[in-house]
Structure 1
Amino acid sequence: LHKCKIVSGQTLKKTRLYMNKWQHSFFSIFFLLFTYYVNSQPSYKKEVLEDMIRFNREMKSDRLIVSIKDTIITDVTFRGKPNDKFLIYSITKIFSGIAIGVLIDKKLIENPEVSVATFFEEWKNDTLKNKITIRHILQHTSGLSSTNGSQEIYPETDFVQFALESSIMTEPGQTFFYNNKAINLISGIVKKVTGQSLELFIKENVFIPLEINNYKWQTDKKGNTWAMDGLWLTANDLMKVGQMLCNFGEWNSKRILSESWCKMMFQIPLVNAMNGKYGYAMAIRSLPIQEKISITRKTIDTLNQLGLKTELVQKLQMLHKKDHYKYLELGLTLNQLFTTREMEEISSFASRQMIPLYTVQNGNFYIKHGGEYGLLITAFPKQKKVVVRYLGEKWGRKKKDDGTDNKYLIDDEIVNYMIGL
């Protein structure tokens, strides 16, 4: 016979109490995990997304990908194959800003105020060109002559040398003018600093950690990687770049760029009443209904402590007669308070210290860069939203009936869909 152990009522009571506590703990943990899971999932308006897809189909898009909180919520191939590469044209420029950030993060250059003449002897004795900094190149304020297009550049053997030989039209930092010619100097700077082409440098430091391997990048006859355009990427790989920028330099738990450099990249120049809205090789916009920016007291105090001229600090303090401004409003106020040279002096000082000058209230801004004919990447860092739209040349080249614009260019409409999503 088996011996039976008699369990007292006291023991049973303790056991039930223990079981109740265990069950309570289990359900508490389960509830917390479930709540975390639900909160981490992207929420969006399904009807807005469906309308966005319908509109892109009507507007001849080849590819449309939307991501929220690093999760792809739609990935549509209207024509071709999902991993077809497209020439992304001017979106290529984003990688110039990224490349300089990697160089700074690796301490291979000190900051964006390094003179371009540091790398090119022929500029050292030119009293205007030797004032041009890396920041000027990235923000399109170098003053070098250029047309908006690239047709004058394509026939050249050496794009970097062609930029070096450009005449200078205005003093550096005085005016914004989109410059395809000057941006190619970034390719030359990367080669001078690292001994690598811009393509190889980006491959090792950006593409490999982003798991991008299906790409092509054009070079000039001298072997220089084009910085102005020339990169072919799949839509999914460009999405990874947008997600990385949304996360201030991090992707899939890998740190690719420092957060401090990303914050610098998202700053636009003070000149032209801040109407250029172009950061370090990428366009920057604020959300239209929440366009509130300011140069904060904390920033001004920091600049003062680091040694910015007293008279410039005092003028900056006058901005606090009002809490917030719109971009153009702040730009016009700065124009009234400062000369363009004083604004450039402030910008240069802040850039040398790696201090973002202004702050967008609640982080309500977005990064937007378009390529020829209707290619687009837009990223909303605060909302963790990214959209990539590809449009092939067949439809992209078609003009409106009045001939004024590309018929299937829908950048603004896509941004509005993303805001409403």
Structure 2
Amino acid sequence: MTQPADTPPQDALSLRPLAAADWDAWYDALEVAFGEQEAPERRSLWRGLTEVDRSLGVWDGAVPVGSAGAFSFRMAVPGGAVLPTAGVTMVGVAPTHRRRGVLTALMRHQLDEVHERGEALAVLVASEPAIYGRYGYGLASWQLGVRVERSRVTVRRSAAERERGTELDRVRLRLADPARAAAACERLYARRVPLRPGMLARRPGWERLPLLDPPAERKGHGALQCVLAEDRRDGELLGYARYSTKVVWREGGAAGEVRVREVTAADPESCAALWAYLLDLDLTDTVVAENLPVDDPLLHLVSDPRRLRPRVSDALFVRLVEVGDALRSRHYAAPVDLVLEVADEFCPWNTGRWHLHAAGPNAAAACEPTDAPADLALSVRELGSAYLGGSSLAALAGAGLVRELRAGALAEAAHAFGWPVAPWLPHEF
């Protein structure tokens, strides 16, 4: 593959940064690679959010045949720091140009740029998870989906509600126009970001994504709705839920569906109130949510968790671009003093031994190169899987992916890398 050029030769593939004028052709090629055509509203949103200076294309003559982009995110990590993170996106290769090194060239160029920018982390959502492990991305978070027979469950009252009694319940629910309520909802969302690893701080423009509601994508559902949970004493926003409903009439009556897009709550009472509302809407008998944290309170709020029919699927893949910076930027659940021998064929500056030291959960960590004997050996892929606290190093060792070189080191590392709250990616990108 040739180096970037203004006018690529007609008989060679050329990798070069995207020009704004080429966006439509570049995105057309991406849609072909994915075998789908997006609604105009969704395409317009992605066009507005595309960071052209972080987008790459491979051309065969004048025809785009490969693409990769990145968003300049900030992502929460264990301990509450919100770190600059490259959100890898819009990766595709034309079906006519597979297995010709196009994707590898794009990944190589992109990770070099992330390295030059000084971003310690890169993340992505994989359309095909088997692809990205060879580039050092490890599965770091899962998402929970539920499909609830609402007539078969009830929502338990919180301890605070039981103590005060329902007549003193401070949570008031109110329907609101999703667009008009968006600014207040975004402020609440922003306050929640540091509390859960994997959450993304939304930059200007990204507040449009949760409101995206193309009629062509509704699949029989009505328009997007928003219910607010407010403190009835002073009107403070405590939580919100975005959802849509589809009414289906059968012989026995209405059997509609509630599709839950998002539930964000600042405390247990507002969380319980919002789920009680969603599970009690007239003319419906099924509630569906596709993306919840795997430790979502809903699992414990309902009277019969089996009726949730929970299922888990892969979500966020994490790649440590700068091992030292990444490991000293998070906190650890317990004291840790280890030497990690890291293998990284794709980003060789990470390969070697790293001494990780932290005195405890609230202490700053140190991580520097060392020649000392290693305690654990693993690849950067497994380090990415464990980074947010969602995958246990002990489980990875059980799969033969982490090797213990000093007795006791694995238990120490698994405990320290864990985190009380499961990581979660709140939305697509």
Same fold flag (TM > 0.5): no
Whose radius of gyration is greater, 1 or 2? 1
What TM-score do the two structures reach when normalised by structure 1? 0.22
Alignment TM-score, normalising by the size of structure 2:
0.22
Please state which structure has a larger fraction of its residues in helix.
Answer: 1
